[in-house]
Structure 1
Amino acid sequence: MSNIHDESTWPIWATEEVEIEEPNQAWLEKGEREKQLLLDLLDPIGIQEIEHYGSTSIPNLPSKPIIDLMAKVDSFKSLEDKALSILSNHNWHYVHPDLDQRPWQRFFVKVSNNKREAHLHLLLKGDDRWDKQLLFRDRLRSNQDLVNEYAKLKRNSAVKFKNDREQYTKSKTEFINSIIN
């Protein structure tokens, strides 16, 4: 078995550069399509609530062109293998929790032409991250000044952390927390 921490064995999409694109209305439509596709695929295993969140769900916000979705699950243990079995037939790739380093979620990446197309975050029912993600999304949707401020931060962080997705994400934490709190 290969070492999952050996970056030389990772697929191209796992180490993509951070690239911010201008806002695109099609992201909202694509988010709804992906959400519906996932609901159709995952409803038989009890996943009935999925939300499009993240930057592509906010009008007028520059973003990485990757649709972020989250789904509520009762248990990782009972669903992880079932979801993997279903999603792997639809270009979704599982990112092991040891790599993701977020034990509170299970993470899948939809890939097309060696590029990330969408992310699916499975969260446990009752996890307050669900409500916080939606609160952040909805506050930005209702305040263009916050969108503009966040856009500036995202662009600057994308330049500074072009080759480090984790640091790019961490660089936005203070702003996100200030909106949530």
Structure 2
Amino acid sequence: MMPPWTSEKVVLQPYDPRWIDRARTENDRVEELLEPWLVDGVQHIGSTAVVGLIAKPIIDLIASVRDLSNISLVASGRLTAEGWTYVDPEFDAQPWRRFFIKTDTSGRHRQSHLHIVQAGGSKWVEMISFRDALRHDHVLARRYEDLKVRLAEQHKYDRKAYTMAKTEFVMAALRALPADRQMKSSRA
């Protein structure tokens, strides 16, 4: 049986300054829970990490760990006790991460995502570099926002298609970054 959050439609909201506080609270708690395994800490990524950007109201966090192979086993108990749900690879075909979500009390609406990745891997660098590019380049951020609005309408009931349709834009933005801007990982 599919969890109810798997059929949640794509809904974008205007920027909400409370997202930063929510992210800071989640970030601090996840750092405490994963401290024995963390390498580069936990960072707030995604559109909710970019002031002024329209977004799905879901806080995305990324954490890098020494050994991704067994993190779902060793960390699940700690994370589950805090309301996180491990997303089985059946529902998340992304081998580069271990994925956890936190929903509202109904279990139907996602509130937070936790992407746990291998330290030193390309996804850590890509996700943080893209966030930082959006924070520093307001023209890029507006172009991304326009794309997201169009895609949210086209793929309202297909979150996977919505996400996949943004991939080329993200990769092009990363390729266009000067080398010195590839990894300014300011915490947020």
TM-score, normalised with respect to structure 1: 0.91
The whole-number CA distance in structure 2 between the counterparts of 1:94 and 1:78 is: 13
Native 8 Å contact 1:93 1:109 kept in 2: yes
Native 8 Å contact 1:60 1:147 kept in 2: no
Residue 29 of structure 1 and its aligned partner are, at CA, apart by: 1.6
Helix, strand or coil for the counterpart of 1:98?
Answer: coil
Helix, strand or coil for the counterpart of 1:171?
Answer: helix
Residue 12 of structure 1 and its aligned partner are, at CA, apart by: 1.5
The whole-number CA distance in structure 2 between the counterparts of 1:80 and 1:12 is: 21
Native 8 Å contact 1:18 1:64 kept in 2: yes
Structure 1 residues not aligned, in runs of 5+ = 1-8
Structure-1 residue corresponding to 2:9? 17
- In the alignment, is residue 153 of structure 1 matched against residue 147 of structure 2? yes
Helix, strand or coil for the counterpart of 1:76?
Answer: coil
Where has structure 1 moved over 6 Å in runs of 4 or more?
A: none
Indicate the structure with greater helix content. Answer: 1
Structure 2 residues not aligned, in runs of 5+ = 176-188
**Matched letter for residue 88 of structure 1:** T
Native 8 Å contact 1:91 1:112 kept in 2: no
Q: Which 10-residue stretch deviates more, 153-162 or 74-83? A: 74-83
The whole-number CA distance in structure 1 between the counterparts of 2:33 and 2:124 is: 21
**Matched letter for residue 5 of structure 2:** W
Give the count of matched residue pairs.
172
RMSD: 1.1
Native 8 Å contact 2:96 2:123 kept in 1: no
